[in-house]
Amino acid sequence: MTPPRNSTAARDVAYALHPYTDHKAHLEKGPVVISRGKGVRVWDDQGKEYIESVAGLWCAALGFDNERLVQAAANQMRRLPFYHGFTSKSHEPMVDLSEMLIERAPVPMSKVFFANSGSEANDSVIKMLWYMHNAIGKPQKKKIIGRLKGYHGITLAAASVTGLPNNHKLFDLPLPGFFHVSAPHHYHGAKSGESEEDFATRLAQELEDLILREGPETVAAFFAEPVMGAGGVIVPPATYYEKVQAVLKRHDVLFVADEVICGFWRTGNYWGSQTMGIEPDIITCAKALSSSYLPISAVMVNERVFQGIAEGSSSIGTWGHGFTYSGHPVPAAVAIETLKIYDETDIGAHVRRIGPHLQRSLRERFADHPLVGEVRGVGMVAAVELVADRKTRANFEPGRKIGPRLMKLGEDNGVILRGLPGDSIAFSPPLVITEDEVDEMLDRFGRALDELAVQLRRESLAAV
């Protein structure tokens, strides 16, 4: 349906280029224009109400109307609306937030660098790794290992460590020097009868084989989300990280924990690294750092990494990296207030109460649904994977666009869904969601899923 002439939707079609969008389809159908939000709900410009099941993009942890964050931004705007961190300049919000993050880190960290998105944070890490290894006399140690289905952003280097085909196709990516090992997804990746521990052992061996084949002296780091997000909300099998970390330590390969989705209580602990037993050398975070009210991301590095950067900057005279808005005082002030709210409201206790309800309800309601192959997740992040055949675990043909169809049915039923590769539907609602709101969200999703099942049955009968 073509948007009405001169409407916001029509002007959007005329002028805006959207991320992650089929633009030919967009020209015909136009956007859903969201005009306001409150709590876990948003409203479009026609007045229709939706529950936001993924907190926007995994990120509006405190919902869509937190007045404390609004006031923190306004107060900082009046006091110091902008300053930078270049050439040893600083300001209180950047210093305070750096200190707060170091105090909350899951393992000892030394310094914090700020950027504006998870992509920029991960791209910055790759530059740090190359820089430090040059500075300490290991110029060959530059190769980066990610995982298939892993997501680490969309800038050139971050997209190269990302392991999703749609982030590589037509972009001439990945760049040379980036490698990928298997996703730790037991449901699809395990051999017949293979236990989680045996599967983890095989994946750790795959990683070690790659490092040995390339040469440990050439491999700088391994990137991993504690729980894989955009690739399908994949929770690694038992003992996986224990075995992977042993391989990395054996070959002096640094572990970069991408906490952009998992950080700040999403998995039931402050950091996904704590939930999964990871001891990283570098941590990246974003999204819930400011509840996404303003753009900000951070990189935390341990003392070893910092000393390499310091050595290089001394020899050259500067560390030639940074953004105009690195540590911008207004987003930093909002992030400080966000972390204070997490502490003062004991959001962790709330997540530990609501998270099990979400996980249990998803499994009780949908694990046996004829379209559902697997329900998976931890804490307040989960996924429901749709399959064409429950016995063989075969997914639907991509051309049938089952995930997008379910997303549209979700919108019709008042719930905004996020479709992931392999027709998985993500759930990552604002952390402030209540049990009643979880139930209402799943009621709406259930109606959409049942409507999809009816449509597919009719199409099957029509094809006979």
Q: In sequence order, which residues have a C-beta less than 8 Å from that of residue 247 and are 6 or more positions away?
A: 204, 207, 208, 211, 253
Q: What is the mean pLDDT of the chain?
A: 97
Q: Where are the beta strands (DSSP E) in 7-139?
A: 34-38, 41-44, 49-52, 111-115
- The Cα 195–Cα 61 span in angstroms is 35
Compute how many other C-beta atoms are within 10 angstroms of the C-beta atom of residue 88: 5
Q: Whole-angstrom Cα distance, residue 362 to residue 364?
A: 6
Q: How confident is the model at residue 464 (pLDDT cuts 50, 70, 90)?
A: very low
| pLDDT, tens only, 301-322 | 999 999 999 999 999 999 999 9
User: Rounded to the nearest 5°, which phi and psi values hold at 117?
Assistant: -160, 165
- Residue 3 clears pLDDT 80, i.e. is over it: no
Q: Is 304 helix (H, G, I), strand (E, B) or coil?
A: helix
CB of 237 closer than 8 Å to CB of 186: yes
State yes or no: cis peptide before 331, omega within 30 of 0: no
DSSP string, 187-241: HHHSPTT--HHHHHHHHHHHHHHHHHHH-GGGEEEEEE-SSB-TTT-BPPPTTHH
- Structure tokens that stand for 443 in this block: 């009621």
**Do 410 and 416 form a contact (C-beta atoms < 8 A)?**
yes
Percentage of the residues of the chain whose pLDDT score is greater than 90: 97
**231 CA to centre of own chain:** 9
Per-residue confidence (pLDDT) for residue 239, from 0 to 100 = 98
Read off the pLDDT of each residue in 231-259 and give the average, rounded to a whole number: 98
Please name the amino acid found at residue 458.
R
Burial environment of residue 110 by CB neighbours within 10 A (0 to 12, 13 to 18, 19 or more): middle
Per-residue pLDDT averaged across 180-188, rounded? 98
What's 88's DSSP letter? Answer: G
Distance CA 217, CA 252 (A): 8
Residue 463's pLDDT band, with cuts at 50, 70 and 90, is low
In the numeric block, which tokens belong to residue 155? 């800038």
Burial 290-307 (b: 16+ CB within 10 A, else e): bbbbbbbbbbbbbeebbe
User: Which residues of the chain form CATH 3.90.1150.10?
Assistant: 32-65+347-463
- The band of 419, judged by pLDDT with boundaries at 50, 70 and 90, is very high
pLDDT number for residue 201: 98
Architecture (CATH level 2) of domain 32-65+347-463: Alpha-Beta Complex (3.90)
Predicted TM-score (pTM) of the model is: 0.96
Tens digit of each residue's pLDDT (9 = 90 or more) over 201-216? 999 999 999 999 999 9
Q: What confidence score (pLDDT) does residue 462 get? A: 72
Kindly state the percentage of the chain with pLDDT values over 70: 99
Whole-angstrom distance, CA of residue 83 vs CA of residue 75: 15
| Range 68-344 classified under CATH 3.40.640.10 | yes
Rg (CA), the chain: 22
Crossing angle for the helix pair 67-79 and 329-344, nearest 10 degrees?
150
Mapping DSSP to helix (H, G, I), strand (E, B) and coil, where does residue 181 land? strand
- Collect all residues with Cβ–Cβ distance below 8 Å to 162 and sequence separation of at least 6: 146, 150, 151, 152, 153, 154, 168
Distance between CA atoms of residues 462 and 295, nearest Å: 49
| Coil, helix or strand at residue 86 | helix
Mean pLDDT of 82-110: 98
| Residue 458 pLDDT | 92
Token pair belonging to 220: 């700088």
Taking CA atoms, 114 is separated from 124, 137, 173, 289, 342, in Å, by 9, 26, 26, 11, 20
* pLDDT reported for residue 302: 98
pLDDT value for 1: 59
Structure tokens at 109: 């960290």
Omega prior to 356 cis, within 30 of 0? no
Across the range 262-291, mean pLDDT stands at: 98
386 class by beta-carbon count within 10 Å (0-12 exposed, 13-18 middle, 19+ buried): buried
